[in-house]
Amino acid sequence: MESSLKQALKKAKRKQALKIVIISIIVVLIALPTLYRVGNYFAAKSSTKLHDALFLHNEIAEPNIQIDSQVTSNSSMFGGNIVTNRSKNVDGYLVQWSTLTSSYDWIGSRIDTNELVPGFYFHGKESYEYDKQTKKKVATFYHPSIKKYSNDVPNDVRAISQMENYVAEAAISFDKPYTLKEIQEKIPDNLNIVWLYMASSITDESKGPTGMPVYGFDPSNSPKEAYNDFIKNLTKYNADAQDETVQEFLTTNKNKSFNEVKILGVMLTGQTQNFKALENKDFIRGASVGATSQIVPYITPEK
């Protein structure tokens, strides 16, 4: 009698264990696809948001830098990377620029700010910014309201114009803000205005570069339309109103037409000898050379 009861209990336990195993398998089979779909949903949402953020940042805060391609890599249900290949157009010559590798996951995304912020080279009184991957010099803008920088504000115009058989880009910082019409009267027609420097933070730069971003846009096609897009992009970029520099610019210029808006500087590209016309001009506070490329017979400069 006792032996039969034990056997019955063992049989019941085996049935219960088998039932638990079967239920567990069914739960796993249901849960895995659900988890996969949910994971992919949140990862895709973060990926899309990161793509948009990278394009938006390029539109408003990357002087004369173009995105050649932007692709997702190492993608999984948990996240992945977005690789952004970039270059500069220097008067028709494409110059390699740093590649960004940004990441995303279920929680959010992270732009590759390490490569966005330039490196700083110091040697005695010599200092300049450089692109960390390509080691090419970065053209630096200087705000007219910042009176003291850690280094002397450079004027590379003469040095640029003495380079033979090259094309170059240069960040031209003005002594004071000007309208586009005033600028066009000052800049020779044989140089390209490829970026307008509109705003940046007024910070203490006397002890060293702070690495703060500059904001502006490419006016090449239609300056007025490009400016309207710039305002829309700035508003979107600063939707939470956390960037005081952007918010101040938007507030100051919200009721102005583009013809009235003041510009702090321009990025120019062209053949080096064409920069000679800018030597000793009073409206130029600083001129910082950036990417350069030697002219070759099979590529014709734009100007």
Higher pLDDT, 4 or 224: 224
All structural domains of the chain with their residue ranges: 118-294
Residue 3, pLDDT score: 62
Tens of pLDDT, residues 246-279? 999 999 998 899 999 999 999 999 999 999 999 9
Specify the range with the lowest mean pLDDT, choosing from 7-21, 61-75, 269-283, 285-299: 7-21
Q: Mean pLDDT for the chain?
A: 89
Distance CA 126, CA 119 (A): 14
Residue 211, pLDDT score: 75
Residue 138, pLDDT score: 96
For residue 288, give the nearest of 115, 125, 142 by alpha carbon.
Answer: 142
Statement: residue 27 has pLDDT above 90: no
Q: How confident is the model at residue 87 (pLDDT cuts 50, 70, 90)?
A: very high
Statement: residue 2 has pLDDT above 60: no
Tens of pLDDT, residues 151-180? 888 999 999 999 999 999 999 999 999 999
Go through 47-78 and write b for each residue having 16 or more CB atoms within 10 A of its CB, e for each that does not.
beebbebbeebbbbbbbbbebeebeeeebebe
Mean pLDDT of 119-141: 91
Tens of pLDDT, residues 175-228? 999 999 999 999 999 999 999 999 999 888 877 777 789 999 999 889 999 999
Residue 159, pLDDT score: 96
Residue 218, pLDDT score: 96
Residue 74, pLDDT score: 84
Residue 29, pLDDT score: 61
Statement: residue 18 has pLDDT above 80: no
Residue 289, pLDDT score: 97
Give the global pTM.
0.86
Specify the length of the chain in residues.
303
Residue with tokens 């800049």: 187
Residue with tokens 């567990």: 24
Tens of pLDDT, residues 38-83? 555 777 888 999 999 999 999 999 999 999 999 998 877 788 999 9
DSSP string, 108-157: -EE--HHHHSPEEEEETTEEEEE-TTT-PBPP----TT---BSSPPPB-H
Residue 268, pLDDT score: 98
Residue 212, pLDDT score: 83
